[in-house]
Amino acid sequence: MSRLGTVLALIGITLTFSACGYNTIPTLQEQAKARWSDVQNQYQRRADLIPNLVATVQGYAAQEKNVLTAVVEARAKATQITVNASDLTDPDKLKAFQDAQAQLTGALGRLLAVSENYPDLKSNANFLALQSQLEGTENRIAVARRDYIDAVRAFNTALRTFPTVIWAKTAFSGEKPMADFTASEGSEKPPTVKF
């Protein structure tokens, strides 16, 4: 084979591999992992806001100690359970993470509901600023979870559809579908929180 023939053959092989979906699986997997990092980042942001919120409420509502304790304990539990990128194929680990975050969400809802009993607290600038930041963080969590769900769907679909299924069964046979978020029991009912 001539030198030109070898170059053309290499170009042909390169084009074939680039168009055949070989890179699709690792690309989608890395996108899903990046989206998971976004989810964790937003949950961490929420966990970081909680001590300030608790301290602000504590100054006004010392007798609501049980609510404050529940928030602190739920935050501690939520920050202890971590799911890194290698755990994304384990639905049990993702469920435990999700359950801990749901407990924290419920405790925060009760904490914010306490503000109804304390008119001075409702008008406190620190409380209002923290409440606004927490609301924004909850919205960011929802967006990050949605983006993660979309990335996981694309990755899991690539493992089962042609032509990437060929690579999934051969070169990437060790890759498992990633776990997805599921709705927590009772999440179909909105929390009753009054501001």
Q: How many CA atoms lie within 13 A of 183 on its CB side?
A: 6
3-state secondary structure of 182: coil
Q: What local confidence, expressed as pLDDT, does residue 5 receive?
A: 81
- Going from N- to C-terminal start, the domains of the chain cover 20-169
> DSSP label at 185?
T
Nearest to 54 by CA among 119, 140, 137, 114: 114
- Asked if 150 contacts 63 with a C-beta cutoff of 8 angstroms, the reply is no
d(CA 66, CA 81): 23
| Residues 20-169, CATH architecture | Up-down Bundle (1.20)
d(CA 172, CA 189): 41
Q: Using the Cα atoms of residue 193, residue 69, residue 80 and residue 127 in order, give the sign of their dihedral.
A: positive
Tokens of 81: 């359970």
Q: How many CA atoms lie within 13 A of 145 on its CB side?
A: 15
- Single pTM value for the model: 0.78
Q: What local confidence, expressed as pLDDT, does residue 193 receive?
A: 43
- Asked if 155 contacts 27 with a C-beta cutoff of 8 angstroms, the reply is no
d(CA 172, CA 182): 26
Walk along the chain (195 residues) and give the pLDDT tens digit of each residue: 688 888 888 777 766 655 667 789 999 999 999 999 999 999 999 999 999 888 888 888 777 888 888 999 999 999 999 898 889 999 999 999 999 999 999 999 888 888 778 888 877 888 888 889 999 999 999 999 999 999 999 999 999 998 888 888 988 999 999 998 876 665 555 445 443
Q: Using the Cα atoms of residue 67, residue 191, residue 95 and residue 31 in order, give the sign of their dihedral.
A: negative
Which stretches of the chain are DSSP H helices?
3-19, 24-60, 65-80, 91-114, 119-122, 125-158, 164-169
